[in-house]
Structure 1
Amino acid sequence: MGPVPRTLELFYDVLSPYSWLGFEVLCRYKNIWNINLQLRPTLIAGIMKDSGNKPPALLPRKAQYLRNDIRLLGQHVQVPMQFPKDFFSVILEKGSLSAMRFLTAVNMEHPEMLEKVSRELWMRVWSRDEDISEPQSILAAAEKAGMSTEQAQGLLEEISTPKVKNKLKETTEAACKYGERSGWALYLQP
């Protein structure tokens, strides 16, 4: 019998292309690297606010670097990435609050579906330039990931409940606290 797997938490938001790259690598290699991967849906807007950071796309030099970096990393990691045509509307106006609340509800009620539904939401925004903010878009992603219409609809109805809102807030605050200690949103537990 080999060593006991270490637990690794990935705090992520489907609005972040870098989170998607990390997600895919960790999902691919979790068995080889002997890690127990815990996916933790988080709100990147909350992390940005807490840290005082601005989205890289708002800074001209970082925006230019970001576009090229994401393209090259996507090719290297074999993740089909392309920027949304109306990037600023998708990132700054629409955001990911509903999608991340939905993923929080998925994690609470059907954690076995979290990886697939998360991936499908990333595919919508970062591969196919599709919406992730409207209820019908979230339902389409969940169904494409293999969730029944009834399950997905039930979870969608929960995204405005205090239980789901508070859980997303708690997870985002936990990510901020880990970041204060380590500077990373990825945390390896001893």
Structure 2
Amino acid sequence: MAASGKLLELFYDVVSPYSWLAFEVLCRYRNVWNVDLRLRPGFLGGLMNLSGSLQAMRFVTAVEMKHPEFVESVSRELWMRIWSRDEDITQPESLLAAASKAGVQPQHAKELLGMISNPDVKNRLKQTTDEAAKHGAFGMPVIVVHVDGVPHMFFGSDRFELIAYLLREKWFGPVPSRNAPKL
């Protein structure tokens, strides 16, 4: 946990463009606000009875379990593939390509791909999705801000000013380095 004792959990699914917005903003603000950002890949379909990203989110969950240092870059690449370049993220070749572009070694990417049908990975994804639901989630993104041990749930990618207020921090807009006041 960050020295400040402030923890933010982002429950997300790469099929959600709003999750992508929240992901990018929180990744930019983790050092600005001095918070521990915990990325929590979930399955939107598990909350909304939809499908489309199950294999991708199992893949991201496998990354989280085996190579957590790549969760951010693999998640970002999957968003880029589906929402920026209109590429498929449901096929194994696409998942391997995303992992490669994110810097995962090919042998590790193949191992991770092989893990998506593993019961441990399935259970981890289900557990994370259930945790989001216990916080009151009905969609994604869900951001759970823990301050002094008390969780506060925010839905959507348009609540950053409220999160900043709760954290007693400043909100500089979606790109803090461009909007930060100059001394």
TM-score higher than 0.5: yes
CA contact (8 A) 1:117 1:141 kept: yes
Higher share in helix: 1
Instruction: Count how many residue pairs are aligned between Structure 1 and Structure 2.
Output: 144
Higher strand content, 1 or 2:
2
Aligned equivalent of 2:13: 13
The answer for unaligned runs of 5 or more in structure 2 is 150-183
Which residue of structure 1 aligns with residue 102 of structure 2? Answer: 145
One-letter code aligned to 2:133:
C
* Distance in 2 (alpha carbons) for counterparts of 1:152 and 1:179: 33
SS of match in other structure, 2:61 = helix
Question: Following TM superposition, by how much is the alpha carbon of 1:47 offset from its aligned partner in structure 2, in angstroms?
Answer: 1.1
C-alpha separation between the residues in 1 aligned to 2:129 and 2:58? Answer: 11
Matches of 2:35 and 2:105, distance apart in 1: 29
Give me the whole-angstrom Cα distance separating, in 1, the residues matched to 2:32 and 2:130: 30
In structure 2, the residue matched to 1:34 is: 34
Cα deviation, residue 34, structure 1: 1.2
Answer yes or no: is the 8 Å Cα contact 1:178–1:184 preserved in 2. no
**Contact map agreement 2:77 2:98 (CA 8 A) in 1:** yes
Question: What letter corresponds to residue 153 of structure 1 in structure 2?
Answer: K
Instruction: Tell me how far apart the structure 2 counterparts of residues 119 and 111 of structure 1 sit (CA, whole Å).
Output: 14
Q: Is residue 43–residue 168 contact of structure 1 (8 Å, CA) maintained in 2?
A: yes
SS at match of 2:32: coil
> How much does 1:185 deviate?
1.8
Identify unmatched segments of 5+ residues in structure 1: 50-91
Q: What's the TM-score, normalizing by structure 2?
A: 0.75
Match of 2:45 in 1: 45
Is 1:128 the equivalent of 2:94? no
Task: Confirm whether residue 105 of structure 1 aligns to residue 62 of structure 2.
Answer: yes
- Distance in 1, matches of 2:84 and 2:122, equals 28
| 2:124 corresponds to which of 147, 157, 167 | 167
Give yes or no for contact 2:8–2:36 (8 Å, CA) kept in 1.
yes
TM value normalised by structure 1: 0.72
Counterparts in 2 of 1:134 and 1:32: CA distance versus 1, 3 Å? same
Structure 1 vs Structure 2: percent identity of aligned residues?
A: 59
> CA RMSD of the aligned region, Å?
1.8
Distance in 2 between residues matched to 1:136 and 1:13, nearest whole Å: 19
How has the CA–CA distance of structure 1 residues 184 and 164 changed in structure 2, closer, same or farther, with 3 Å as cutoff?
closer
